[in-house]
Amino acid sequence: MTNTSWPVQLARQTIETYVIEHKWLEPPAELTLEMKEIAGVFVSLHRQGALRGCIGTFSPVTNNIAQEIIRNAVEAATRDPRFSPVKQAELADLEISVDVLSPPEPVSSLKELDARKFGVIVKSGNRRGLLLPDLEGVDTPEEQIAICRRKAGIGTLEPVELFKFSVRRYT
């Protein structure tokens, strides 16, 4: 798993192992330098063009990207509250993407945002909403912020802190 799509291969293998065998996949014995990096990761699942699951971490909670992918792949397939767990019959139809996030940077102006280039985190107190960049149907930073507010239960008039991040997207 050392080519450019190793994150997607690792996520797919993780999901298949968990759904079929009910076991957690162990990280590869030999980690590449890229796998050893520490970063937040989102795993997104689509089936027949529709979102089927998406779970991630904007800050890393494991020791490396490989472990982060394994954790979030299982979460996206089985614990996204918007969907029932992925079933074995769905595995062949899953399209998987993996986003490796840069550390979030504070934003002081909407001019610093670009919906194609940057993801957004909206924070108010302990509530946070996150949206990945370059999503179909989300064309402006204002749309990103509105979606993040809804996801986090933050009212439109509540003051918020804004952060941006970039991603390395693997498909």
pLDDT, position 7: 97
Q: Which of 123, 132, 1, 109 is nearest to 54 (CA)?
A: 132
Residue 67 banded pLDDT, cuts 50, 70, 90: very high
pLDDT, position 41: 98
Query: pLDDT tens digits, residue range 96-147?
Result: 999 999 999 999 999 999 999 999 999 999 999 999 999 999 999 999 999 9
pLDDT, position 3: 44
Question: What order do you get walking across the sheet with 119-124 strand by strand?
Answer: 105-107, 161-165, 119-124, 127-131
Q: How many CB atoms lie within 10 A of CB 126?
A: 6
Indicate the helix (H) or strand (E) that contains 20.
Answer: helix 6-21
pLDDT, position 98: 98
What tokens appear for 126 in the block? 């302990």
Whether the domain at 6-101 and the domain at 105-166 fall into the same CATH topology: no
∠ CA 61-152-86 to the nearest 5 degrees?
60
Query: pLDDT tens digits, residue range 39-55?
Result: 999 999 999 999 999 99
Model confidence at 166: pLDDT above 90: yes
CATH architecture of 105-166: 2-Layer Sandwich (3.30)
Model confidence at 28: pLDDT above 60: yes
Mean pLDDT along residues 164-171: 96
Prediction pTM value: 0.93
pLDDT, position 4: 53
pLDDT, position 84: 98
Does the domain at 6-101 match CATH 3.40.630.30? Answer given as no
Residue 35 CA: distances (Å) to CA of 2, 8, 132:
9, 12, 21
Domain boundaries along the sequence of the chain: 6-101, 105-166
Residue 78 CA: distances (Å) to CA of 65, 71, 83, 90, 154:
20, 11, 8, 12, 26
